[in-house]
Structure 1
Amino acid sequence: MVRYGAEMVFSSKDSTITDEDIDRIIAKGEEATAELDAKMKKFTEDAIQFKMDDSADFYDFDDDNKDENKLDFKKIVGDNWNDPPKRERKRNYSEAEYYKQTLRQGAPSKPKEPRIPRMPQLHDFQFFNIQRLTELYEKEVRYLMQTHQKNQLKDTVEEEEPEGGDPLTAEEVEEKEALLEEGFSTWNKRDFNSFLRACEKYGRNDITSIASEMEGKTEEEVERYAQVFRERYKELNDYDRIIKNIERGEARISRKDEIMKALGKKLDRYRNPWLEMKIQYGQNKGKLYNEECDRFMICMIHKLGYGNWDELKAAYRTSPLFRFDWFVKSRTSQELARRCDTLIRLIEKENQELDERERQARKEKKLAKSATPSKRPLGGPSESPSSLKKRKHLR
């Protein structure tokens, strides 16, 4: 009614509007409403029955008036379609590879080289006769190379054939095998370093102790190697440094033996050195260590051995004599070692003075004995010892 004449009716001031005009306006409104309801009903049914057509294209649409004679563009494009080239992996440019491929194309194929036997790797600490083995190896290689060159120049006439070398004789082959067996091929660098450390620790002559420090080697193998090492150690590259280290270790061992002998000589002067031993301090007594502590230290060093400072420290801590001596119990191994060295120097000085006194006493006694006159009567006939024994027997 609003769209089809109701506004005109309400805005008109004339009385010419009849009931027929109003009925006509109402009829038009009802007709428009019915038409709108029919359209909405159709849209609702289409929305309910909506579905996707897989075969339909996005750009296709139903056209009843389609020209059948028109060209099918999709078919033409599909028949004439070419796949794009596949993506290739990017390769870095290599100048060396380029020249290698370029030169390889024009170069003739090289003949195969002869198979040269490989010389085993020989170390200096394995004590092979490297000079002789190298000579035999070079002779064998020279023969193979000359034989190969001779085969290459066999068909040529202008060039002279090289003089062929002699192969290894049966005696030389046996010599080569014997030289390889003489060396210590089973010894590696680790075994050699273990042997050197053991020599520094125990000395070159203590084979049993050296063999105990090495893994995988028997005492016979170590003894054989030690004998060759003593004879041919100068063949090593840095034998000066090796020998100096071993001699330094042997000097420590010798010094340790001297210390133990000096302590034993000191303790032998007393019946019970743990209680009776006296130490001549002089001016080096110190204020921190007492005589009981020093006496215990000397006796324990003689018992445990020089250099076992951790065991000495444990002995102080477990001994009932020093249960309340917190100074001694709190000393470190290095401090105990320094105190022990001080006491050893005092004992060695004391032993040296006693030896000098004994030597002087023997010398004086010998001089006194030579200076005393003989009790035998002057001018009397000398008698032999056998006659003197007979005379005593008769008496």
Structure 2
Amino acid sequence: EKNLDDDSSFSLSPEEATEKDKLLAEGFPDWSKKDFKVFCSGLERYGRYNIFNVVKVVVSETGKEEAEIKRYYVAFWLNYRRINDWKKVIDKVEKGEKKILRLRQIRDAIQDLVERHIEEKYGDLYSKEGNSVGENPLPPRNQLLYYCWQTMVFNYGVGQKSRAYSDQEDGFLICMMHRHGYGAAERIRMEIRRAWQFRFNWYFKSRSAQDLQKRCDILVKVVEKENDESRKKEDKEEVKVELDEGKDKALQLSSQQPSEDQPQCMNGLSKSPNTHSDVVEIDSNPVSAGDSSSHPTL
């Protein structure tokens, strides 16, 4: 019988030792539970497809090499079902990806509104020759964001218009979200304090980051609603243009077809069915000598 307390009795054969070394090399024996949590938090923050940022976070938090983290990334998605409570881990990752998708939707909505407003206000000026309007030079196109917020007008819905915030203040918040991103309320607060246009606007300058974030959430809903209305309007105009083009084509085709009322001619001449011949038939029978009716009376 083997002594269980004696480690020498459990010595591995050379083949088993080689297999053990191979399995250890394929695994991750130096990864702790803390490293695993850092990896999962990176997936929640950046999503499963943003490998670059996930690797960057894990490298900064754990100090491991990039090649090892990438290998761990592949092994995780191949064998994640073998982890205890793997459903909870995947649910957290999916929730993080939904947040990322929502942030992208908000960013696209704000960008559509800003670009449409700039095109409406300054598109005609830049399409003309010259770089000035009268004596005032036009600003560079990449700096139009700092000029357009003062002329923004929003279509507020019921209960969305606030007496505390004006159109210019809301426009400034929209442009700053376009610049710094949604959720950067602290940066927006600092931009408000630095803007000379609001140096006497104590109410707007004294708003906290939480107050500004609440107002930004309301403005995002207003922007999305306005973008939806703009898309519906554009779709109706496109349908109307297509219908008009179809009518024009139908009229052109009908004008090119020959009319049924025109007489059909053969060889360029028309003949009437009631045309009579002018030929006079002459009796060819000779008059007999005995016929007295045929001679004049003497």
TM > 0.5: yes
1:112 positional shift: 6.0
User: Structure 2 residue aligned with 1:290, among 166, 171, 175?
Assistant: 166
CA contact 2:152–2:167 (8 Å) conserved in 1: no
The percent of aligned pairs where both chains have the same amino acid is: 34
- 1:159-308 matches, cutoff 5 A: 171-214=15-58, 215-269=62-116, 270=118, 271=122, 272=144, 273-283=148-158, 284-308=160-184
Amino acid in the other structure paired with 1:331 = R
Given the alignment of the two structures, is residue 378 of structure 1 paired with residue 253 of structure 2, yes or no? no
2:220 aligned residue (340, 344, 357): 344
Q: Residue by residue, what CA displacement relative to the aligned partner does 1:305-329 show, whole Å, maximum 9, x if unpaired?
A: 1111111111111211111211112
- Aligned-pair CA distance for 1:350: 0.6
How far the C-alpha of 1:208 sits from its partner, in A, is 2.1
TM-score in terms of structure 1 length: 0.53
Residue type at the aligned position of 2:78:
E
Match of residue 309, structure 1, among 159, 164, 185: 185
**Pair 1:115 & 2:12 matched:** no
Cα distance in 2 for partners of 1:112, 1:230 equals 42
The counterpart of 2:241, out of the listed 365, 368, 375, is 365
1:221 is displaced (CA, Å) by 2.1
Is the contact between residue 103 and residue 182 of structure 2 (CA under 8 Å) also seen in structure 1? yes
**Could you tell me which residue of structure 1 aligns to residue 207 of structure 2?**
331
- For residue 374 of structure 1, report the CA deviation from its aligned partner: 4.5
For residues 255 and 308 of structure 1, the distance between their equivalents in structure 2, rounded to whole angstroms, comes to 15
Separation in 2 of the partners of 1:193 and 1:112? 40
Letter matched to residue 212 of structure 1? K
Q: Is the 8 A contact 2:106 2:220 kept in 1?
A: yes
Post-superposition CA distance 1:151-178 (Å, at most 9, x none): xxxxxxxxxxxxxxxx966544433321
Q: Answer 1 or 2: higher relative contact order, Cα 8 Å, separation at least 6.
A: 2
Deviations 1:285-315 (A, max 9, x none): 1110111111110001110111111111111
Would you say the 8 A contact 2:152–2:168 is kept in 1?
A: no
Q: State the partner residue of 2:276.
A: none
Question: Are the aligned partners of 2:47 and 2:93 in contact in 1 as well (CA < 8 Å)?
Answer: yes
Contact kept, 8 Å, 2:151 with 2:168, in 1: the verdict is no
> SS where residue 186 of structure 1 aligns?
coil
Secondary structure of residue in 1 paired with 2:48 = coil
User: Unaligned stretches of 5+ in structure 1?
Assistant: 1-110, 118-143, 146-166, 381-395
C-alpha separation in 2, matches of 1:113 and 1:291? 81
Separation in structure 2 between the aligned mates of residue 379 and residue 179 of structure 1, nearest angstrom: 87
Distance of 1:113 and 1:357 partners within structure 2: 82
Amino acid at match of 1:230: W
CA-CA distance at 1:335 after TM superposition: 1.1
Partner-residue secondary structure (3-state), 2:163 = coil
Instruction: From the superposition, tell whether residues 291 and 359 of structure 1 become closer, same or farther in structure 2 (CA, over 3 Å).
Output: same
